[in-house]
Structure 1
Amino acid sequence: MISDHAFPEVQREGLYRAIFERRDVRAQFRPEPIPPEVLARLLEAAHHAPSVGFMQPWDFLLIDDRTVRERVHAIFERENAKAAEAHTGERGALYRRLKLEGILESPLNLCITCDRSRGGEHVLGRQSIIETDLFSTCLAVQNLWLAARAEGIGVGWVSILDQNELTEVLGLPENVYPLAYLCLGYVDDFHDQPELARAGWRQRLPLAERVHGNGWGAVAEEPALFEALASREGE
C-alpha cells in the first residue's frame, strides 16, 4: 500500500540515495568555494530540523579564516596524538594511517552550536530529558548533511577536538556548546562505502540483529519484516 501522502517514486529514491550515499568526508576536497545560494539552501535545511519544544537551539558559525582554522587544526593534532596512544599493534598502525579531518583542505569549516539556554528555563518537552537540546541540534546536523549530499558537497565531522579549547578559539558564550565542527566542500568523489569500512576499521552491523520486539533481546514476532530485512542485506 502506498499512502496518499507519499512522495512520487523518483523523489523517494532521491531521499534514500542521499541517506545511503552520505559519507563522512575527510579528503578529496576541491578548492572552489560553495556558492552563496547553495550554502543558503544547506543552512535553511538545517534550520528546518525538528526540535523539542520548538526551541531551535542551534547557531551556525561559518569559518573560512585560515588563522582560525590553523588554531582548530592544532587542537586536533594534540587530541589525535592522545587518541592514537589508546591503540597498539596493528590497530594502532591502522589508526595512524587514517585521515580523520579536512580542516585546512576544505574551503569552509562550519561549527553548529547548541545554545543550552534557548527557550528559557522551562522548555516544553524537556523537563524529563534535559539533553533534548543536544539531540535536536544533532537533527540539524543530519539535515544539513543530507542536503549537502544531494548538492554534491562533502561533509566531514571532526570529533577529535577539546571542546573547551574550541570554545575559547571561537569565542563562544558560556551557555553555548560547540556540538559539531564540520568541514564542507565539493569533492572529487564519494566512496561507495564509509571510509572506516573501506579501511577495515569496522563494518556495518547486520540490521536484523539490532531489531527487538517489546523488550530488549526479545524476538519481534514479525517474520515478514525479518525476511524483508534479510533480503536487503548487502544492498
Structure 2
Amino acid sequence: MELSEAIRRRRMVRNYDASRPVDPALVDKLLGYAVHAPSAGFSQGWEFLVLTTEEERAKFWAATTPPESGLTSWLEGMSRAPVIVVPHSHRDAYLDRYAEPDKGWTDRDEARWPVPYWHIDTGMASLLVLLGAVDEGLGACFFGIPPASDAAYREAFGVPAQYTPIGAITIGYRAPDAKSPSLKRGRRESQTVTHRGHWGASADL
C-alpha cells in the first residue's frame, strides 16, 4: 500500500472481530516500524508493553476502566481487540543522552527542553504503529489511560516509575462500528491551519 493511501485510510477503530487473532509476527513487524521513529539525539526513550493473552487484556481493562467510568459501549467493542500495545516514554533516557560529551547538558536540567521530547518521540513511534496497522490490513485505535488509573495499571503490570504510559493502542481486524460523533466537527483543511511567512497570513496552497 502506498503511504498516501495508508494516511487517507487511517482512522481510530473501536470495534474488532474477536474471532480473528493477529499473527504475532505481524505485531513484531509493527513494533519494528515503531523503532524507526525519529528521536532527539537518537535517545530512543521508548518501551512497549504488549498484551496478547485473554488474561493480560482483561487485567488491562480492569485496571484502566473502572466500572464507574460509564464507558460500557465503548469498552464492549474495544475489549474485543486481540492485541493491546502500551507505549511508554522514558524521560531519563533523554536526560542521560544529553549529558554525554557531544551534547554537554551535564546538569540534566529538564528546563533546557522546550517541550518533553520523550513524550513526542514516543507519540511518533505510536503513529508508525497506527499507519503500519493500516498497511497490514488491520485496525487500530490510540487512546489515553486516565490519570486516576495510573497506579492500578502500574501495579497490574509492574511498570517502573520512570516509565510513563503515553496512551494505549488496540490492534485487531476491524468489525463494523459507528463513526465517532466527533467527526461531525469535520476535518480542517491544510489551508486553514497553515501560515505563510507570518502568523495569520493567508495560505495560498
> Within 2, Cα distance between the matches of 1:103 and 1:69?
11
Distance 1:80 1:178 in 2: 19
Deviation at 1:64, TM superposition (A): 2.2
> How far apart are 1:70 and its partner, in Å?
2.5
Residue 197 of structure 2 corresponds to residue 211 of structure 1: no
Instruction: Using the TM superposition, name which of 19-28 and 120-129 deviates more.
Output: 120-129
Report the counterpart of residue 196 of structure 1 in structure 2: 180
Counterpart of 1:137 (choices 119, 122, 147) is 122
Aligned to 1:159: 144
Cα distance, 1:200–1:116 mapped onto 2, change above 3 Å: closer
Contact in 1 for aligned 2:53/2:82 (Cα 8 Å):
no
2:160 pairs with 1:173: yes
Partner of 2:79: 104
> Structure 1 regions of 5+ residues with no counterpart?
1-10, 82-95, 226-235
What CA distance in whole angstroms lies between the structure 1 residues aligned with 2:77 and 2:144? 12
Separation in 2 of the partners of 1:104 and 1:152? 19
Shift of 1:77: 4.1
The answer for unaligned runs of 5 or more in structure 2 is: none
Taking the TM superposition and a 5 Å limit, the aligned residue runs for 1:1-235 are 14-74=2-62, 75-78=64-67, 80-81=69-70, 99=74, 102-123=77-98, 124=103, 127-161=112-146, 162-188=149-175, 195-196=179-180, 201-220=184-203, 223=204, 225=205
Q: State the number of aligned residues.
A: 192
How far apart are residue 120 of structure 1 and its match?
4.2
Contact between 1:30 and 1:187, CA under 8 Å: does it hold in 2?
no
Q: Report if the CA contact (8 A) 1:26-1:102 is conserved.
A: yes
Q: Secondary structure at the match of 2:140?
A: strand
Query: Aligned partners of 2:10 and 2:156: how far apart in 1?
Result: 29
Cα distance in 2 for residues equivalent to 1:212 and 1:28: 39
Moved more, 141-150 or 102-111: 102-111
Letter paired with 1:76: T
Mapped to 2, the partners of 1:37 and 1:122 lie a distance apart of: 31
**Cα RMSD, aligned residues only:** 2.8
SS in 2 for 1:213: coil
Normalised TM-score (structure 1): 0.70
Which whole-Å deviations, capped at 9, do the CAs of 1:19-43 have from their partners, x for residues lacking one? 0101111103343222132222111
